[in-house]
């Protein structure tokens, strides 16, 4: 059963990589972008679900945390585009806020767990999990604060488009990282853990800057 789930996990991971790349490089708002984006979101959720089940069968805190990390980014990015398309004012409920509280608690675990390991082993190592946990902590707090202000949920809030770009881009970085770590073996291993984040962050920042200029200097339909 575990092997079947692993094969499925890898398969949906490949689908996520391909569909995500298509969504990134296709014209934003066009049919290809929308369709590939939906496939990407579904594949990312499938990655998270299969990882969760596998972790319950064979405990792997790293697999669980990274899967929840990428699932959270996907969820936040997908919700952002939905909020952008609001036709009327919306008041988020506890159901809407709950995933962000779960992300917050998960990020604390990702930060604390490697610290505990270092204390118990009395040795220092690069706390990769803690680095991703810190990123998740900052984003989850921002999402919690954002959902506490109902003014953010008025129709056509341009900030949601920027949120969509940042979170979806972050989720793709997480997926690329997982692929490289598991399939390309080099030393030191932490290079593949951090390199996609460094490179991807540069492109995301650039893209957000370009869209920020478009959104706040021109009228977006």
Q: How do residues 29-42 score in pLDDT, each as one tens digit?
A: 889 999 999 999 99
Distances from the Cα of 140 to the Cαs of 67, 76, 84, 201, in angstroms? 15, 9, 19, 17
DSSP count for the chain of H helices, then E strands: 7, 0
pLDDT per residue over 89-116, tens digit each? 999 999 999 999 999 998 998 888 888 8
What is the pLDDT averaged over residues 117-129? 75
Mean pLDDT of the residues in the chain:
87
Look at the chain and report how many structural domains it folds into: 1
In this predicted structure, the answer to whether residue 181 has a pLDDT above a threshold of 80 is no
Q: What is the pLDDT of residue 147?
A: 94
Distances from the Cα of 131 to the Cαs of 88, 113, 190, in angstroms? 38, 12, 11
The residue whose two tokens read 């569909």 is 19
Tokens (6 digits) for 114: 């490697």
What is the pLDDT averaged over residues 65-80? 89
Domain residue limits at 102: 2-217
The pTM score is: 0.85
Q: What is the largest CA-CA distance in the chain?
A: 58
């Amino acid at each position: 059963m575990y092997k079947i789930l692993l094969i499925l996990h890898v398969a949906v991971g490949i689908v996520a990589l391909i569909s995500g790349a298509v969504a990134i490089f296709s014209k934003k708002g066009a049919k290809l972008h929308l369709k590939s984006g939906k496939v990407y979101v579904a594949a990312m959720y499938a990655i998270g679900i299969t990882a969760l089940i596998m972790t319950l069968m064979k405990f792997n805190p790293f697999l669980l945390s990274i899967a929840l990390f990428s699932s959270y980014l996907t969820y936040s990015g997908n919700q952002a585009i939905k909020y952008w398309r609001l036709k009327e004012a919306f008041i988020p409920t506890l159901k809407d806020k709950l995933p962000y509280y779960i992300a917050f608690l998960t990020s604390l675990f990702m930060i604390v767990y490697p610290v505990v390991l270092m204390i118990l082993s009395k040795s220092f190592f690069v706390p990769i999990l803690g680095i991703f946990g810190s990123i998740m902590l900052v984003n989850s707090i921002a999402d919690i604060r954002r959902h506490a202000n109902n003014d953010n949920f008025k129709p056509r809030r341009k900030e949601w488009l920027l949120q969509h770009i940042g979170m979806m881009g972050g989720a793709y970085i997480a997926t690329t990282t997982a692929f490289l770590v598991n399939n390309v073996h080099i030393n030191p291993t932490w290079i593949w853990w951090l390199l996609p984040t460094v490179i991807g962050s540069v492109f995301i920042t650039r893209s957000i800057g370009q869209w920020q200029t478009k959104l706040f200097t021109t009228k977006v339909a």
